[in-house]
């Protein structure tokens, strides 16, 4: 058996071999004060180009707590003029802001003419892959045509009452599917001002009061089932619903606002028949 005597290998070769076989890591960006990068691609299923002036926002967030709005760690914007998906992105962040045992996710929004066109509807872990692997994000369309405007005459606003409302954004984050792959929803009925729906794990009931653009929910109660993953989002959904004080409907979109004017819930009308 031949043996390799390391004391006979030139020091330069040893240094070169150590560099070649070093495991890939997220390295600091030169001249950026120790920042690291997350990169990947953004795409959607629709066969369409984004309109002129469209902007893509890529956001790294701390989503560890469901009872508060997500904390933005880093953010960047892209303007993909004249190109088609996938759209490559590179986001710099400060590793000192990343804490062990916390959850971090990627959020992507595409807007045109001040209106939301696409958003990711699933949680995308920011650090689930091996270091150096791309973090790709698929976004879903929210109902706008190319150019940020409908190619058809504007639809009449959906009715607040007796409409199946599907929540798609909660405190600035996409709403994930509930237990049993059931989507969250609510329906405000005209009889006795009752609201009912599914909050992710349990069915819920309650009352509402509406006057002009003022809307309040009270006496919200749910069934006592326990679920493995959906409980935190359910609790935040019901608490947020209970804090609403104003609403606005544009087409098939229902926005709820807190007393301080913040948008806290966004719903889309679903037509079952």
On the question of pLDDT at 233 being above 80, the answer is yes
Q: Copy the structure tokens of residue 265.
A: 């819930």
pLDDT confidence band for 273 (50 / 70 / 90): very low
In this prediction, residue 66 carries a pLDDT of 57
Gap between the Cα atoms of 174 and 30, Å rounded: 34
Give the pTM. 0.49
In this prediction, residue 67 carries a pLDDT of 52
Range ranked top by mean pLDDT from 65-69, 143-147, 212-216, 267-271 = 212-216
Residue with tokens 């954004």: 169
Mean pLDDT of 84-102: 91
In this prediction, residue 204 carries a pLDDT of 95
- Strand, helix or coil for residue 146: coil
In this prediction, residue 63 carries a pLDDT of 81
Mean pLDDT of 206-224: 93
Neighbouring C-alpha atoms within 13 Å toward the C-beta of 101: 0
On the question of pLDDT at 28 being above 70, the answer is no
pLDDT confidence band for 216 (50 / 70 / 90): very high
pLDDT confidence band for 38 (50 / 70 / 90): very high
Q: Please check whether residue 91 is in contact with residue 74, taking contact to mean a CB–CB distance below 8 angstroms.
A: yes
Gap between the Cα atoms of 134 and 137, Å rounded: 10
Mean pLDDT of 212-227: 91
Mean pLDDT (the chain) is 80
Percent of the chain's residues with pLDDT above 90 = 42
More confident residue, 190 or 236: 236
């Amino acid at each position: 058996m031949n043996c390799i005597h390391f004391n006979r290998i030139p020091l330069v070769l040893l240094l070169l071999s150590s560099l070649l076989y070093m495991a890939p890591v997220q390295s600091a960006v030169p001249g950026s004060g120790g920042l690291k990068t997350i990169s990947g691609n953004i795409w959607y299923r629709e066969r369409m180009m984004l309109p002129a002036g469209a902007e893509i926002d890529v956001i790294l967030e701390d989503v560890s707590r469901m009872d508060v709005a997500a904390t933005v760690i880093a953010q960047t914007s892209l303007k993909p003029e004249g190109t088609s998906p996938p759209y490559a992105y590179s986001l710099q962040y400060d590793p000192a802001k990343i804490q062990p045992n916390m959850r971090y996710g990627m959020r992507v929004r595409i807007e045109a003419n001040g209106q939301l066109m696409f958003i990711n509807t699933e949680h995308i872990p920011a650090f689930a892959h091996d270091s150096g692997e791309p973090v790709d994000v698929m976004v879903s369309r929210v109902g706008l045509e190319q150019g940020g405007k409908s190619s058809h005459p504007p639809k009449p606003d959906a009715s607040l009452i007796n409409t199946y409302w599907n929540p798609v954004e909660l405190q600035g984050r996409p709403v994930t599917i509930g237990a049993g792959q059931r989507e969250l929803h609510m329906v405000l009925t005209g009889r006795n001002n009752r609201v009912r729906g599914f909050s992710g794990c349990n069915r819920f009931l309650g009352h509402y009061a509406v006057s002009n653009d003022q809307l309040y929910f009270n006496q919200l109660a749910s069934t006592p089932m326990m679920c493995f993953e959906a409980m935190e989002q359910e609790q935040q959904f019901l608490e947020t619903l209970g804090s609403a004080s104003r609403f606005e409907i544009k087409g098939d979109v229902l926005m709820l606002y807190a007393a301080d004017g913040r948008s806290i819930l966004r719903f889309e009308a679903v037509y079952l028949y």
